[in-house]
Amino acid sequence: MNIDPEQIIIVGGIQEALSLITRLLVGSETSVAIESPCYQGAAYIFRAARAQITPVPVDKAGLDVDQLPEGPVSLIYVTPSHQYPLGSTLSLERRFKLLEWAWTSGAYIIEDDYDSDFRYRGSPLFALAGLDRHESVIYLGTFSKSIGAGIRVGYIVAPSALAEPLTTLKGLLNNGNPWLEQAVLAEFIANGGFNRHLRKIRLVYLRRQAALIAAIEAEFGEVDITGTDCGMHLVWTLPPGGITADMLCERALEKGVGIYPLEAGAASFTATDEQRQRMVMMGFPSVPEEQIREGIGILAGIARPHARSRSLPSGPFPIDFEI
């Protein structure tokens, strides 16, 4: 990627980036394609702008590019590194097909790369922006996931044709983000601290992810889990005919364990009710391994009616598999 500094716009996170892009490119009846299911914050912004929304299904290889709309589309919003919420990673073959579709249709791709710092298996895939040869990709990144939610620093890497109008819109909105956080973050990156930090927490997160998967498999046997190659959460699809996701989440919370159905995990979902009702989102970075095993044991007691019911002692520290 050959990027000029003028193409980088610092923002207060992904949501502000999406807001700026929508103000510039989306109006009433603008055709916008989104993943199905999709990050709720993106879907809400496009709907608030009265865009015409076209959902595109997602499977275990990411966005199903064979079902991209054939008619005119102005934008498509995707999360290729770790699809939100299902967690799949868009394959390299599909990345090229998506780019080809954008080039021929004249659509911009909004690439939300929010979780790309945490890849655990296989070689990292090129970002769509790195493969783009026609300036079709608007790339979004954030430090809120890799450093902490309190660090409200994100960025847009805009195609050259959009850099100036997006910068102007940003100035009209708030005339720039506070300088201190940016200066500290720039120094942290420049002296190698950020890369050291990422290497350390990747190992911690990988151990916790492995502990979570092992605990679920130990209690429930063969299970359907997606989103394990990358990211900070996974999705567990419960078997048909048993307890629903909503019921499991509600009963778990009563016993001090926080897990989340798709809707509660800020996901806009267009699949069938039967699919939606069996999907549970579980984050793992903030949960120590012993608590992971304890929490899954509690879930087993809830999901299996004849199992001995377990719960946490009352207190201010529940086990929360937060997203």
| pLDDT tens digits, 87-111 | 999 999 999 999 999 999 999 999 9
Instruction: Map residue 182 onto helix, strand or coil.
Output: helix
Evaluate if residue 115 carries a pLDDT over 60. yes
Q: List C-alpha distances in Å: 186 to 10, 181, 182, 192.
A: 12, 8, 6, 10
- In CATH, what number does 5-190 get? 3.40.640.10
* Residue-wise burial string across 239-266, b where 16 or more C-beta atoms lie within 10 A, e elsewhere: eeeebbbbebbebbeebbbbbbbbbebb
d(CA 137, CA 171): 22
Superfamily of domain 198-320: Aspartate Aminotransferase, domain 1 (3.90.1150.10)
pLDDT tens, 138-157?
999 999 889 988 888 999 99
Evaluate if residue 274 carries a pLDDT over 90. no
Evaluate if residue 168 carries a pLDDT over 50. yes
Radius of gyration of the chain (CA): 20
Q: Which residues contact 300 (CB under 8 A, 6 or more apart)?
A: 219, 220, 307
pLDDT score of 315: 47
Q: What average pLDDT does this structure show over 211-219?
A: 96
CATH 3.90.1150.10 domain span(s) along the chain: 198-320
How sure is the predictor about 307, in pLDDT bands with cuts at 50, 70 and 90? very low
Lowest-pLDDT choice from 55-59, 200-204, 238-242: 238-242
Work out the end-to-end distance of the chain between its first and last CA atoms, rounded to an integer number of angstroms: 31
CATH 3.40.640.10 domain span(s) along the chain: 5-190
Model confidence, pTM: 0.91
